[in-house]
Amino acid sequence: MMRIPVLLVASLFAGLFGWTENSTLTLSAEEVATGVTPVSVQGNSVKLTPKNTSIQFVGTHEGDKPDPRKGGFGEFTGTAEVDSDGTLQSVAFEIDTTSLWTEFPKLTAHLKSPDFFDVRTYPKASFKSTSVASGSDGKAVVTGEFTLLKVKKEIKIPVTTSISPEGLTLTSDFKLDRTQFGMSYGQGKVSDDVALSVIIGKPTEVPGS
């Protein structure tokens, strides 16, 4: 099986929250990688949609009771371009932040408010790659510009990808500091870091999808 460094960074992360309902963590991308369906490559392009890609996040509280909260985004578009050798050329992604979901309606509404995503003012978030550093065994680090709220920052994302006659799969688990994008609500009570799990080649079942 040929492996390629292709990234779809649904570079999204969500804010952290202060609710008390119990929740379980999402599975990591690596844990579900064996249960995903590859996305077909048409020419040199891979079209990324909620039908073949999942973007999930987990936020926690500080202290002895992290009370993890999970969620994701239901609407986004993206494209990964590769060359004839299966090497990534570019990645672009746009996310509809109004499509944010969680397990709890009150939490979803709070995350959409000005305390976090302020989706009425900033209904879109985006990522555009600038470079890909390829490693071995399908591993790579994708660098690009991530825009959320009114902040644009360069981020680096580790990914693991593979391609077969059936198409492309990608997994990525990483963290982002929400405060770097202006999400400072609840500092000291909830963690600044948000865990993200991105999977190209959607699992059979994804909560909220």
Return the pLDDT at 23.
Answer: 32
In degrees and rounded to multiples of 5, residue 176 shows phi and psi of -130, 150
Nearest to 72 by CA among 92, 99, 52: 99
Torsion of CA 136, 139, 144, 147, to 10 degrees: -170
As given in the structure block, the two tokens for residue 182 are 């202006």
For residue 164, the tally of other CB atoms under 10 A from its CB is: 11
**Chain center to CA of 163:** 20
What are the residues facing 164 on neighbouring strands?
167
SS3 content of the chain, % helix, strand, coil (to 5): 10, 45, 45
**Are the beta carbons of 176 and 193 closer than 8 angstroms?**
yes
What is the Cα–Cα distance from 127 to 117, expressed in whole angstroms? 16
Residues 6+ apart with CB under 8 A from 181: 148, 149, 151, 153
**Are the beta carbons of 147 and 171 closer than 8 angstroms?**
no
At residue 39, the 3 state secondary structure works out as strand
As given in the structure block, the two tokens for residue 113 are 């408010």
Domains of the chain: 29-200 (2.40.128.110)
Return the pLDDT at 185.
Answer: 83
What are the residues facing 42 on neighbouring strands?
45
Q: Is the pLDDT of residue 37 over 80?
A: yes
pLDDT digits (tens, 9 = 90+) for 159-205: 888 777 777 788 888 898 989 999 888 777 767 788 888 888 866 45
Q: Which of 2-16, 74-88, 89-103, 190-204 has the lowest mean pLDDT?
A: 2-16
